Structure 1
Amino acid sequence: MMTGFRVPPVVDRQTWQREIDALRVREKAATRELDAIAAQRRRLPMLAMDGYVLEGEHGPVRLAEVFDGKSQLIVYHHMWSPDQRWQCPGCTGYTAQFTRLEFLSAYDARFVIVTQGPIDQALAYKARVGNKMAWYSTANSAFGADVGAPPGGGFALNVFLRQADAVYRTWYTDRRGVEQLSHTFPLIDVLPYGRQEQWQDSPDGWPQYPTYSRWPGSAEIAQLYGAHS
């Protein structure tokens, strides 16, 4: 239990409702703006992709085959550090959220992980941390580098559309753009104390710690998900 920190002021019901109503105006405006952004995203042009070959659990696989018969594909590019037992905790934690992805089938879509790590090491890491997603390696392909996730680079997320065997890149984001496609931070952000990181605008007396310091490490995530570390 957190103690020793300041708390929000206690007010009467009418005052509390007035403050909620004022905030709701901004929340609704933000929702409408996100709807408008999504509408613009649906109108983006697309970029034709080369015939990349990745490595999957059962061997080489063409990019068009990664769709597994679907027409739309989301790819999370998991950061990879060679010869490390535990990979990026941010990527490990982010992808650990997605344990039920079957709902995407109704939208003719699939969501997979691609990493620069060799496929045998990538699959071993997947098992080590208890990840439930399909993993592919771009270690022997220019695919990752060509879509914003080169060897030694950061994480990213790409979206693709398939027409027969032709694949097109439709959208891309990285950094905090990826954060929006999760449920962890939206849940934490509605808590009274929020993320408790020093960069956030919080009232005086609120708990604040160095950025990332409250994030679980990869080994902790593996333990939480019951994987064999």
Structure 2
Amino acid sequence: MTSETRLVPATELASRNRAGFPNESAEYRQARNALLAEEIELRRHIERVAEQRRQLPPGGEVTKVYRFEGEAGPVTLADLFADKSTLIIYSYMFGPQRQRPCPMCTSLMASWEGKVADIEQRVALAMVARSSIERLVEAKKARGWTQLKVYSDSDGSFTRDYVSAEDEDVPAYTVFTRRNGTVRHFWSGEMSGEMADPGQDPRDAPDPDPLWTLLDTTPEGRGADWYPKLDY
């Protein structure tokens, strides 16, 4: 959607809505159509943000050789691209100080497990954590995951440069590109806890975990004190 595109006002589009459900009141339908207009505006804003992201100038060139330990042995950052020109790395919270991986990171990764084949039609995808590869593989097997690829940043070099300079056990979502043999940083999630609105749980937008998107469609919402667990 370009800036020159002339869009029909969202309220006009919402007025074309033919949906209706048994025994609903006129008050409900009026409020629902007003909400529909806002949902149309939200969809448009999401697309505007995505377009703005795609138009970012070239990010910093990756000049350091980052090494990881994978399930099949040592690899470099460049190796993680395989035959793709774009690489997504999710750094999850499972450092050596943890007995078990972070439940929130695990929830997110679980939602991606079944989509790896689809994702990898377009880009490369890698899960990185600071624990040894043996621990990462053990945890992966415990969840029954077979598609997600896990890698150990054993020396912490990548983590300190792209996740936390203090080598904290925090999550990060990072995108790299490879064009004409040059690897560059493209985009990272940068919303921190300090950027959360009052009473809001810190999170990115759009939220990469579909769990929260689904709960946001319910009257209970995501809640203020509920989080996924490793076991129920």
State the TM-score, normalizing by the size of structure 2: 0.76
Is contact 2:131-2:153 (8 Å) kept? yes
- What does the per-residue CA deviation read over 1:104-131, in whole Å, with 9 as the maximum and x for residues that have no partner? 2332x02220111111111111112223
Q: Describe the superposition over 1:39-81 as per-residue Cα deviations: whole angstroms up to 9, x where unpaired.
A: 1100112211122111111211011111121111111110124
**Which stretches in structure 1 are left out of the alignment for 5+ residues?**
1-10, 198-210, 221-229
Name which of 218, 223, 231 aligns with 1:219: 231
One-letter identity of the residue aligned with 1:177:
D
Whole-Å Cα distance in 2 between the matches of residues 155 and 84 of structure 1? 14
Deviation at 1:215, TM superposition (A): 2.6
Residue identity (%) = 27
Q: Counterparts in 2 of 1:26-175, with a 5 A limit?
A: 26-45=38-57, 46-49=59-62, 50-82=64-96, 84-98=98-112, 99-107=114-122, 109-131=123-145, 132-149=147-164, 151-163=167-179, 165-173=181-189
Evaluate the alpha carbon distance shift between residue 164 and residue 63 of structure 1 in structure 2; reply closer, same or farther with a 3 A threshold: farther
Q: CA deviation at 1:162?
A: 1.4
Aligned to 2:15: none
* Separation in 1, partners of 2:40, 2:153: 41
Instruction: Report SS of the residue matched to 2:188.
Output: strand
SS in 1 for 2:163: coil
* Mapped contact 1:64–1:165 kept (Cα < 8 A): no
Q: Per the alignment, do residues 178 and 133 of structure 1 end up closer, same or farther by CA in structure 2, a change over 3 Å counting?
A: farther
Contact 1:118–1:139 (CA under 8 A) maintained in structure 2: yes
Please state if 1:192 is matched with 2:219.
Answer: yes
Higher relative contact order (CA 8 A, sep 6+): 1
| Deviations 1:147-204, CA, capped at 9 Å, x for gaps | 124533310100111135432110001551176112111100001111232xxxxxxx
Gaps of 5+ in 2: 1-22, 191-201
CA RMSD of aligned residues (A): 2.0
SS at match of 2:141: helix
TM-score (norm 1): 0.77
Matches within 5 A, 1:198-213: 211=225
| Count of matched residue pairs | 194
For the pair 1:182 / 2:209, whether they are aligned, the reply is yes
Structure 2 distance, partners of 1:127, 1:56, is 14
d(CA) in 2 for partners of 1:91 and 1:79? 7
- Report deviation, 1:219: 3.4
Contact 2:93–2:169 at 8 Å: present in 1 too? yes
Offset from partner CA, 1:10-50 (integer Å, 9 cap, x none): x8432211101111122111211111111110011221112
Give 4+ residue runs of structure 1 displaced > 3 Å after superposition.
Answer: none
